């Protein structure tokens, strides 16, 4: 694979652009690895895993808008994933009496069990993918990313 950072034609005298490309590159490498393993081990797509992970973390359920915001993607695909999870009995819809177009999605007991079966393995994959850094480096990186994320949320007024 051609490496973005070392491409001969790439002249990046700009610190921030290089930082951004490294951030994007690391994230995509890990995301693609996780995507492939989820498919091989559990025959599940990454967006579907992400939806279940978010629902797992909010036992009271989430509205579609909340789910979109958490996943930082727009709604179309999420609705389709939820429809399929409902059909398979892994998610249930809880309606809003005030507004029939609004509903909350929540994992069923079967959904919780299914997610837990995958979550342990997912966590071990992440451990393995990040183990090229020492614990100290992981902590430093995590602290810097938290600061970055906080400043981004401030910029966007969220």
Residues that bind a second copy (CB under 8 A): 1-5, 7, 9-10, 14-20, 22-33, 57-60, 66, 69-70, 72, 123, 126-127, 129-133, 135, 137-142, 144-156, 158
Shortest reach from residue 8's CB to a second copy, in Å: 9
Q: Are strands 62-63 and 103-107 parallel, antiparallel or unpaired?
A: antiparallel
Distances from the Cα of 134 to the Cαs of 93, 139, 147, 148, in angstroms?
43, 9, 20, 21
Nearest to 42 by CA among 113, 125, 122, 118: 118
Shortest reach from residue 84's CB to a second copy, in Å: 22
Q: Given the complex with a second copy, which of 93 and 149 has the nearer CB atom?
A: 149
Q: Given the complex with a second copy, which of 11 and 100 has the nearer CB atom?
A: 11
Distances from the Cα of 120 to the Cαs of 49, 66, 116, 149, in angstroms?
13, 25, 7, 26
Q: Given the complex with a second copy, which of 30 and 86 has the nearer CB atom?
A: 30
Shortest reach from residue 118's CB to a second copy, in Å: 13
**How many Cβ atoms are within 10 Å of 92's Cβ, its own excluded?**
17
Shortest reach from residue 87's CB to a second copy, in Å: 25
């Amino acid at each position: 694979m051609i490496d973005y950072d070392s491409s001969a034609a790439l002249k990046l005298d700009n610190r921030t652009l290089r930082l951004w490309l490294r951030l994007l590159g690391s994230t995509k490498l890990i995301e693609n690895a996780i995507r492939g393993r989820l498919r091989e081990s559990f025959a599940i797509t990454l967006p579907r895993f992400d939806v279940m992970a978010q629902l797992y973390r909010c036992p009271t359920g989430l509205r579609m808008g909340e789910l979109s915001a958490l996943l930082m993607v727009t709604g179309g695909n999420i609705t389709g994933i939820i429809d399929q999870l409902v059909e398979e009995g892994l998610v249930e819809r809880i309606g809003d009496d005030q507004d029939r177009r609004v509903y909350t999605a929540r994992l069923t007991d079967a959904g919780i069990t299914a997610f837990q079966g995958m979550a342990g393995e997912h966590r071990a994959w992440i451990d393995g993918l990040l183990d090229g850094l020492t614990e100290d480096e992981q902590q430093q990186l995590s602290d810097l990313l938290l600061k970055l994320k906080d400043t981004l949320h401030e910029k966007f007024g969220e």
